[in-house]
Structure 1
Amino acid sequence: MSQQFEPANEKMYIRLVKQGDAAAFHAIYQHYSPRVYGKLLRVLKSEDLAADMLQDLFSIIWQKRAEIDPEKSFGAFLFKISDNLVVDLFRKAKRNQQLIEKLAKAGAEEWESTEEWLFKKENETWLARAIESLPPQRRLVFQLCKLENRSHDEVSQLLHISRATVNNHLVKATQNLKALATGKSGMAGLLLIWLFR
């Protein structure tokens, strides 16, 4: 197995990881870790905390490799676990003054309060369920473009569909999600963050 990760062959890599293939796991780590680390750093504002959590994240992925579904977006699975780890950290921080001080020194005081952040994550959980309700192809395009930040051209090549089809799926997914969010308190701003980040 080549160490160079190829997005078009992601399902093959995931199947190998499920079988305990360390080389395939390393290739996936090399591909996803910079993006995950960047997201963790933006939230935690600490290189040490972000690096530690990145290692914890991939340790969990290795331990839970048998649970990974190669037919579903691995990136979405990865970022969901990452989000859960951050939520757990902030919950622990509420009970651990030392950790609160460390987060504050790292710049966390510039971010929303822990309570606001947790409220946002709860709404994101609702939105994740809403995304799961989309038709399979539309959901996959949305996940790849909006959750994994892939370009329209990359998704077009990956799924063997035209760029116009990618754009069409995104427009319809956005319409579907906005319709589901109608009347859901606190979702309007969150939708804008998710759909246009």
Structure 2
Amino acid sequence: MIIGVRSNFGQLINPNYIKLSNYTQNDQGILLQQLIAGDESGFAGLYDLYNRPIYNFIIRFVHSVPLAEDLTQEVFIKIWENRLCLQGVKSFKAYLYTVARNHTLNSLKVVFRSEAAIGEVINSFIDTRSAVEEDILHKEYVEFLKKTMDSLPERTRQIFKLCREQEKTYDEVAKSLNISRNAVKNHMVHSMKLLSSAIKKEFGISLTLFMIILEGIR
């Protein structure tokens, strides 16, 4: 069930959570610093601000009220337990949505044991996403993709962009760069392996699912 926090973190006081404060987005910075310092009132304030949006976000993945409530609770427990990691976070909202998404997808993996089934869940989520969620996730994915691609050698990055972004064939790229088709293929294999590994490590999903999500939220 969704947790409420008054004096002791983690105390289950009401399954139908009632907002305890009148905090606004303008209070987020102060509340975040309180949370990092281990102040439960800071955690409670952020929980008040975000528990319902995160619940609404998760339920579009799982389509189950009890499961969405449990996952929402677990997300905020993770936030509390890993509060020291928030010191370098630029956007708490983006960080929170990322934690919620990753935790939900990891939980679904245990249930479905099938990437195809998870793909159906993601497609369902994409169809019901909100503008706020779309903006947050799109920025995160694009920034991650850019950072990963920037780590590639310049020539490999150039070939990847020509093939993937400009949709040129291997033969066309080989001709324009005056290299062999096999060289183009080798560069693409290297870039796809690196990208796939980075996505698996960061998000716990395959490159295919990542591209489905990215395409769906553009």
TM-score, normalised to structure 1, is: 0.54
Unmatched segments (≥5 aa) in structure 1: 101-111, 135-178
Give 1:128 deviation, angstroms: 3.0
Give 1:130 deviation, angstroms: 2.4
Structure 1 CA distance for aligned equivalents of residues 90 and 34 of structure 2: 15
State the match for 1:155 in structure 2.
none
Q: SS at the partner of 2:87? A: coil
Residue 15, structure 1, aligned to residue 27, structure 2: no
State the match for 1:130 in structure 2.
142
Q: Using CA pairs under 8 Å that are at least 6 residues apart, name the structure with larger relative contact order, 1 or 2.
A: 1
**1:83-122 counterparts in 2 under 5 A?**
83-95=101-113, 113-117=117-121
State the match for 2:155 in structure 1.
none
Structure 2 CA distance for aligned equivalents of residues 48 and 40 of structure 1: 11
Structure 2 CA distance for aligned equivalents of residues 29 and 114 of structure 1: 28
Give 1:193 deviation, angstroms: 3.2
Q: Residues 8 and 132 from structure 1, CA distance in 2 versus in 1: closer, same or farther, beyond 3 angstroms?
A: farther
8 Å CA contact 2:138–2:217 kept in 1: the answer is no
Letter of the 2:60 counterpart: R
Q: Residues 188 and 48 from structure 1, CA distance in 2 versus in 1: closer, same or farther, beyond 3 angstroms?
A: closer
Q: Residues 87 and 26 from structure 1, CA distance in 2 versus in 1: closer, same or farther, beyond 3 angstroms?
A: same
Q: Residues 191 and 18 from structure 1, CA distance in 2 versus in 1: closer, same or farther, beyond 3 angstroms?
A: same
Q: How much is the aligned-residue C-alpha RMSD, in angstroms?
A: 4.1
1:6 to 24, 28, 51: 24
Q: Deviations over 1:96-135 (max 9, x none)?
A: xxxx9xxxxxxxxxxx7225557999xxx9973522578x
Quick one: percent identity of the two aligned structures?
19
Residue 49, structure 1, aligned to residue 67, structure 2: yes
Give 1:40 deviation, angstroms: 1.1
Unmatched segments (≥5 aa) in structure 2: 1-19, 126-136, 147-161, 168-191, 193-206
Structure 2 CA distance for aligned equivalents of residues 93 and 71 of structure 1: 31
Query: For structure 1, which segment, 55-64 or 66-75, has the greater mean C-alpha deviation from structure 2 after superposition?
Result: 66-75
Structure 2 CA distance for aligned equivalents of residues 75 and 47 of structure 1: 22
Residue 193, structure 1, aligned to residue 216, structure 2: yes
Residue 61, structure 1, aligned to residue 79, structure 2: yes
Structure 2 CA distance for aligned equivalents of residues 60 and 46 of structure 1: 21
Give 1:72 deviation, angstroms: 0.8
TM-score, normalised to structure 2, is: 0.49
